[in-house]
Amino acid sequence: MQLEDILDLVKEITESTVREESSIIDREARWPEKSMRLFQAERLMGMVVPKESGGLGQGLYALAKSCEIIGEASGSTALCFGMHHVASAVIAAKATPQQKKEFLEPIAAGEHLTTLALSEPGTGAHFYFPQTQLLSVDDDAYIVNGAKTFVTNGGQADSYVISTMGVEPTASTHEFSCVVVDKDAEGLTWGQPWQGIGMRGNSSRSLQLQGVTLPASRLLGARNDQMWYVFQVVAPFFLTAMSGTYLGIAQAAFNEVKQHLLQRSYHHSGDSLSQVALIQHRMGTLWAKIERTRRLIYHAAQQGDQGDPEAVLAILSAKAEVAHCCVDVVNEAMTLAGGIAYRENSRLEMLLRDARASHVMAPTTDILYTWLGRAILEQPILDS
């Protein structure tokens, strides 16, 4: 499939299923089963899996556009969709022949969902400093002990990409590893679903790992080279997926308020709100804010796909900028749509709750701007 066909299919599923499922998964904090299974059945979950493993061989740009389309209908569904692709990209980056067979081929065939479990209670937004331990039993096996929080697709995915401390006791905090754990591995205990105020349909769960034994083949890449993964794979794919998602939410709020302004007219004057000069000005400002953010996101994703060394700056700033754009646009839309929107269960109310997650999903907005500044000032990006 060419990119255009892929995006047409994403649009078709979004219109037939994602939009319909959107409010119910939010209301009941339920994982978007119907939409996710349809994406799998239509082979879209292999979007970033290389063609040699049966995937669609796409990159950041396809992911940004897909998440934008889905996010316009449902932020939660775009988040679940996006996290699967980020984890797929992490597995694909240095996959061994066995990992290709065990994970990438089933993912491409729509038979396997995966997701990323990096965040931990002890290190919070600093997901790149895991405390989960990876102990080497012998040359053939590892044992994993630790705890993860906010795992999107928690309990629903077939496998979990987990970050751990470096294997050797001498490994520094910057030398950590990544492994893939099966959903039914012995020693996994899921916590109660997290009741977020927004993004409620993402099945976010905490996870305890106690004495989880893994074959050595589950290590991704070389021991302790996770920092390579953080900047070469996790950051670009995660930030791009989230940028697309929150852009979709901003666009949804814009569409909602536009519809409202076109329809709302006063009995006393017969005038429509669309005729008010101040409101026209504010809508123009919102459009420009969304469009310049969209251009940044597309540009960053394309630079990333081309392997441009400058791409990292654009990708970091894209997610920081879209968080501001999304929260501002939804807030403004709420004001412009007046008391009619300011009620329980209005679409804008859901968008307002979903938009707020943009700033707190790591790397958070403040941390992204700090990383950017450090990169510009030629300082090490990470704090020690």
- Residue ranges binding ligand FAD (CB under 6 A): 83, 116-119, 124-125, 127, 150-152, 196, 199, 202, 204, 357, 360-362, 364, 366-367, 370
Q: Minimum CB separation from ligand FAD for residue 37, in Å?
A: 19
Question: Nearer Cβ to ligand FAD, position 106 or 154?
Answer: 154
Question: Nearer Cβ to ligand FAD, position 18 or 117?
Answer: 117
Q: Minimum CB separation from ligand FAD for residue 240, in Å?
A: 15
Helix (H) / strand (E) containing 32: none
User: Distance between CA 158 and CA 113 in Å, rounded?
Assistant: 5
Question: Nearer Cβ to ligand FAD, position 24 or 360?
Answer: 360
Q: Minimum CB separation from ligand FAD for residue 196, in Å?
A: 6
Q: Minimum CB separation from ligand FAD for residue 148, in Å?
A: 7
- The residues, ordered by sequence, that sit 6+ positions from 168 with a Cβ below 8 Å of its Cβ are 223, 224
Of 65, 48, 169, nearest to 116 by C-alpha is: 48
CA neighbours closer than 13 Å in the CB half-sphere of residue 366: 3
Question: Nearer Cβ to ligand FAD, position 6 or 90?
Answer: 90
Q: Minimum CB separation from ligand FAD for residue 70, in Å?
A: 15
User: Distance between CA 150 and CA 143 in Å, rounded?
Assistant: 22
User: Distance between CA 301 and CA 237 in Å, rounded?
Assistant: 9
Within the chain, where are the H helices?
3-13, 19-27, 33-41, 60-73, 75-93, 97-99, 105-108, 226-229, 235-263, 277-305, 311-336, 338-341, 347-360, 365-376
User: Distance between CA 29 and CA 24 in Å, rounded?
Assistant: 8
Of 241, 202, 266, 217, nearest to 32 by C-alpha is: 202
Q: Minimum CB separation from ligand FAD for residue 28, in Å?
A: 16
Question: Nearer Cβ to ligand FAD, position 100 or 356?
Answer: 356
Question: Nearer Cβ to ligand FAD, position 118 or 209?
Answer: 118
Q: Minimum CB separation from ligand FAD for residue 219, in Å?
A: 19
Question: Nearer Cβ to ligand FAD, position 58 or 76?
Answer: 76
113 token code pair: 């969902």
**Residue with CB nearest ligand FAD?**
124
Assign 3-class secondary structure to 49-94: CCHHHCCCCCCHHHHHHHHHHHHHHCHHHHHHHHHHHHHHHHHHHC
Per the listing, tokens 């929080």 go with 149
| DSSP per-residue letters across 214-225 | EEGGGEESSTT-
Q: Minimum CB separation from ligand FAD for residue 307, in Å?
A: 26
Question: Nearer Cβ to ligand FAD, position 35 or 365?
Answer: 365
